[in-house]
Amino acid sequence: MSTTILEARHLSKRFSMGERTIRVLNDVSLQIRAGEILVISGPSGAGKSTLLHLLGLLDRPTVGDVFLNGEDVSQLSGRRQARLRNEHIGFIFQFYHLLPELNALENVFLPRMIQSGPLRWWRKKKQIREQAQEMLVRVGLGDRMTHRPSQLSGGERQRVAVARALINEPRIALCDEPTGNLDRENSQAIQELLWDLNTSFGQTFVIVTHDEALTRSGHRNLHMVDGQIVEESVQTGASEGTGGDEE
């Protein structure tokens, strides 16, 4: 059985709007195992992105707990959560969130620079740049390293975002509509890239999406409606958790 990397236990999230209380997430529990591609689908407003933000420690649950590598991390300080995000979790968003003043290479090595701190960064600068270059080659952008985001296509920007998410070798990458801003051709290319990274390196992905092609191709699919998981399916023929460690 594959190792559980990330676990949610009875997560609920509520927001107050004046006298109204809106429940976005309602008692959601799940486990994410090493080496799997877990796809979370459902209609708009189902709570998919909220769940992803809670799993990634970008927000705190109203009720419930998140466990990362077996540790309850829900109530840690903001500083400690930020360090855990940097070290263990990669993020890929629909709109890339690249820094426009930095080129592709600089955008990719930025998380490693933050992780290293000023002194270690200057000692390890050459090595870190080489690692970022290797990541860009891996995602097919070896010839675009010095281009800024405005000089890249949407598909190329998302490839930079993928490289940036994986530069710190996170145990898990959380993807919020990674193909939602792309045309059909680039969507297919990004899907093939993510699946290749999973197959070749055992990278674990959690993908929130409306893209039916992604939904059909994951190892597992969770379908959400009204803040709850209403259905779970395992894709026939998909090798679940093949890249992960065995217990």
Give 3-17 as a 3 state SS string.
CEEEEEEEEEEEEEE
Given this model, what pLDDT does residue 33 score? 95
Rounded Cα–Cα distance for residues 178 and 159 (Å) = 10
Would you state the torsion angle of the CA atoms of residues 67, 164, 191, 188, taken in this order, to the nearest 10 degrees? 150
Rounded CA separation 53/151 (Å): 30
> Average model confidence (pLDDT) for the chain?
91
Residue 209 or 117, more confident? 209
Condensed to tens digits (0 to 9), the pLDDT of residues 148-207 reads 999 999 999 999 999 999 999 999 999 999 999 899 999 999 999 999 999 999 999 999
Name 8's bridge partners.
30, 66
What are the DSSP E strand ranges found in the chain? 4-17, 20-33, 37-41, 63-68, 71-72, 89-93, 172-176, 204-208, 220-225, 228-234
> Taking a C-beta distance cutoff of 8 angstroms, is the pair 29, 11 a contact?
yes
For residue 240, is pLDDT > 70?
no
Q: How far is the C-alpha of 170 from the C-alpha of 86, rounded, in Å? A: 8
How far apart (Å, rounded) are the C-alpha atoms in residues 54 and 127? 33
The yes-or-no verdict on residue 118 having pLDDT over 90 is no
Residue 35 inside a domain? The answer is yes
Q: How much is the pLDDT for 235? A: 77
What pLDDT is attached to residue 237? Answer: 53
**Domain total in the chain:** 1
Asked if the structure places residue 48 within a domain, the reply is: yes
Residue 239 has pLDDT above 50, yes or no: no
Query: What residue ranges in 129-203 does DSSP mark as E strands?
Result: 172-176
Residue 243 resides in a domain: no
Tell me, yes or no, whether 241 lies in a domain: no
Q: What is the mean pLDDT of residues 23-36?
A: 95
H or E stretch covering 81: helix 78-88
Q: How many CB atoms lie within 10 A of CB 136?
A: 24
pLDDT at residue 247, rounded to an integer: 37
**pLDDT band, very low/low/confident/very high, at 93 (cuts 50, 70, 90):** very high
Residue 23 confidence (pLDDT) above 80:
yes
Q: What is the pLDDT of residue 55?
A: 97
For residue 245, what pLDDT is reported? 43
Burial of 62 (C-beta count, 10 Å sphere; 0-12/13-18/19+):
middle
Closest CA to 31 of 225, 238, 219: 219
Q: Is residue 244 part of a domain?
A: no
Q: What is the CATH number of the domain that holds 70?
A: 3.40.50.300
Range of the domain at 162: 4-234
Q: Please indicate, yes or no, if residue 100 is contained in any of the structural domains.
A: yes
Q: Is 239 inside a domain boundary?
A: no
